[in-house]
Structures are given as C-alpha cells and as structure tokens.
Amino acid sequence: MASFNSFSLFSNNSILQRDKDCPVWGYGEPNSTVDVSLIGVKANGKKYIKKFSATADANGRWQIVIPKLPAGGEYTLTAKSGEKKVVSTNITFGDLWICSGQSNMEMSYGWGLTRGREDIETASYDNVRLLMVPNYVTLVPTKNLTEGWTLCTPEKAKRFSACGARIGTVITRNKELQAHMMKICQARLSVATLDQVASAALYSVDPSYFDEVRAEYKERRDTLYNKLMEIPGVVCKEPKGAFYVMAKLPVDDTEKFLVWLLTEFEDNNETVMYAPGGGFYATEGKGTDEVRFAYILKKEDLARAMDLLAMGIKKYNETH
C-alpha cells in the first residue's frame, strides 16, 4: 500500500508564491482520485473556499493548481484520497526567496555570529519562514523532503539562516526599501553583459571543453592535496566535489600563524595566505588549528604556495 502525502513544500506554516498560479502536488496510490481544498481568510478579511480534484498518474503523483492569490491571509490546505488525509495549517501567501550559493548561507544565528544572541532573543517575525533543504545527492527527483517550514521565533531562530532571516525581516517590513535593495544587489552582483554572453555560449560548446575543465581542476586538487600530505603533521581528507580543502596544521593557532606569515615571513619576497578554520565553526575554540585552501590557482602557483606553507610551518614552530 503506497503512502499518501502532499510534498513538504506545502506543510504547516508554508508560504506559497503570491500573485501567481501555484501548483500543489504529492504522492499516493497510482490512478487514485485526490480531493483537495484550500479554506481560509484573505488579507482583506474575506473568506476563501476553493475545492479541486486530481487523478494520480501511474507513478502515484497528483497535482492541482491554486489560482493566484494576493499576499497575506491564513489558510488550511487539505488533501484526501479514500480514507487517507493530509492537513496543512497556517499557510500564507508571499514572496519566496532561495537562500543559496555561498556555503555561508547555512550560517545560522546559533553559529556565534556578531549580534546573534540579541537577534535570537528578538526574532518574532511570523511572516518570515524558512524551509530547510538538507544536503544530499540524488540522481532522481525526490518525492519529499525531510523537513518542513519553520516560523522565525526566538525558540526556532537558532537554526535559521542568519543571512536569510535578516533579509526577510527587512523586505517584510519595508517594501520601498526592498525595491532599493534590489537595485543595489543588481548593480553589485549582476554579471556583466559580456560574461552573460560567454556563459550562454557554454550551452552549445563541445562537451570536450567540460572534460578539459574537469581534468584541470582534478590536477589542481591533486597538486594541492599531495603537497599538503608531504608536510609533516598535516591532516586532511581528499576533497571530492568541492573547490577547496580543509586541513589541520601542526601549529598552535592558525589565525596567529597567518598574521605571522603576512608580517614576518617571506621567501624570495613571497608568502602564502589562507582562510583560518575557526570562522567556519559555531563552537568557540573549534577549528583553531584548521585552515581552508581553495584550489583556484594554476598548478605551479599551488605547488609554490604549499612549499611556502611548509617552510613557514617549520620556521614558525622553531621560533614559537
């Protein structure tokens, strides 16, 4: 017997996109009939009742489309098939933002960020909600996520993306400010026209180009990793899909060591720089002996950088 569900995008406390027709889907018995209702109150106080019917396909997937609704309101979404029923409450309509890209989007208030504790204590924003999408690899579309939506409250904010929550609170409070922020973001972050043309051309480039790029970055990774493993006392794992590597160095404090490298160490007027590992941990004291290197330089430059690191570690430990 197949389980019956609506996709967790449509769970309790979810936000659906305003002013757009909104598809809602889930899974159940193949070829079964699914009755769906959306009942609630619009932002203007008027009652809203809409009923839908769908038939699951051969794989059990069913879908209905909710006609566009304005921002706000509070609704209950019910999906029923035979004796099985799924009810999602406190649903509203608004703007959906994807917090993705840099890994620091995952940094939550609980990571010990500046003003993090103060922000947690005052984080009461019912209209700011977060859907956490776990990190995992799948070769086929997933039928559900393991987590649902979370309200931004002092009790829940510790797990919130700090960047996402701060952006959400700003744009929720002041739409005029949101419009001007978008202009700044576009001016600061939008890719130049020439870069866009070049990126679009990649869709029609010969596949051998990507083979060459992958091979080049594999060689860069291997160069960096192998040189690191030649340094006595260094501990790290070979990275797989990332463009960087975390390594444990045989020094007392990698941040102090970095300052020393930049101010007191040189070899033929050259030194090396890295990102200290402590900033990637929420727990105070963790990562003090770790660093992060990105292998985005030429292989020759990476090899030279690791040679400088080896010399620096040796000299630092002799003098400290």
Over the stretch 262-294, which tens digit does the pLDDT of each residue have?
Answer: 999 999 999 999 999 988 887 788 899 999 999
The whole-angstrom separation of Cα 244 and Cα 219 is 13
CATH of the domain at 50: 2.60.40.10
| Judgement on whether residues 238 and 314 belong to the same structural domain of the protein | yes
pLDDT in the model for residue 252: 93
Residue 108 carries which DSSP code? Answer: B
| Judgement on whether residues 68 and 171 belong to the same structural domain of the protein | no
Asked whether residue 196 is domain-assigned, the answer is: no
Asked whether residue 195 is domain-assigned, the answer is: no
What average pLDDT does the structure give for the chain?
A: 87
| Judgement on whether residues 304 and 289 belong to the same structural domain of the protein | yes
How many domains does the chain contain in total? 3
Q: Is 93 helix (H, G, I), strand (E, B) or coil?
A: strand
Cβ-contact 164, 105 below 8 angstroms: yes
- The sign of the torsion formed by the CA atoms of 47, 50, 51, 56 equals negative
The whole-angstrom separation of Cα 15 and Cα 102 is 24
Q: Indicate the pTM of the whole model.
A: 0.60
| Judgement on whether residues 85 and 105 belong to the same structural domain of the protein | no
Query: Going along 217-320, which residue ranges are E strands?
Result: 235-236, 244-248, 275-276, 290-294
Cα distances (angstroms) measured from residue 113 to each of 128, 192, 297:
20, 32, 30
Instruction: Quick: pLDDT tens for 241-267.
Output: 788 999 999 999 999 999 999 999 999
**Strands 61-66 and 72-81, bridge-based pairing:** unpaired
Cβ-contact 272, 257 below 8 angstroms: no
| Judgement on whether residues 8 and 47 belong to the same structural domain of the protein | yes
What angle separates helix 299-319 from helix 207-229, to the nearest 10 degrees?
Answer: 20
Number of separate helices (H) and strands (E) present in the chain: 7, 14
Q: Which residue has the tokens 């007027």?
A: 269
| Judgement on whether residues 211 and 315 belong to the same structural domain of the protein | yes
Q: Which of 32, 64, 95 finishes a domain? A: 95
Asked whether residue 33 is domain-assigned, the answer is: yes
Helix (H) or strand (E) holding 62: strand 61-66
**Strands 15-17 and 84-94, bridge-based pairing:** parallel
pLDDT in the model for residue 1: 42
| Judgement on whether residues 290 and 273 belong to the same structural domain of the protein | yes
Q: Which residue has the tokens 């019956």?
A: 4
The whole-angstrom separation of Cα 88 and Cα 63 is 16
Asked whether residue 47 is domain-assigned, the answer is: yes
Sheet architecture: strand order including 5-6: 5-6, 22-27, 61-66
Q: Is 98 helix (H, G, I), strand (E, B) or coil?
A: coil
Closest CA to 2 of 91, 92, 69, 82: 82
| Judgement on whether residues 105 and 156 belong to the same structural domain of the protein | yes
The whole-angstrom separation of Cα 162 and Cα 130 is 11
Q: Which of 80, 95, 110 finishes a domain? A: 95
| Judgement on whether residues 231 and 255 belong to the same structural domain of the protein | yes
Asked whether residue 265 is domain-assigned, the answer is: yes
| Judgement on whether residues 154 and 141 belong to the same structural domain of the protein | yes
| Judgement on whether residues 212 and 312 belong to the same structural domain of the protein | yes
Q: How many residues does the chain have?
A: 320
Asked whether residue 197 is domain-assigned, the answer is: no
| Judgement on whether residues 156 and 233 belong to the same structural domain of the protein | no
pLDDT in the model for residue 4: 74
The whole-angstrom separation of Cα 27 and Cα 148 is 16
pLDDT in the model for residue 130: 85
Asked whether residue 298 is domain-assigned, the answer is: yes
Residues spanned by the domain of 133:
97-190
Q: Which of 144, 162, 190 finishes a domain? A: 190
> Which residue ranges of the chain lie beneath pLDDT 70?
1-3, 102, 109-120, 122-123, 188-190
Tokens representing 78 are 């019910």
Cα distances (angstroms) measured from residue 76 to each of 40, 120, 180, 232, 254:
6, 28, 34, 61, 52
Asked whether residue 108 is domain-assigned, the answer is: yes
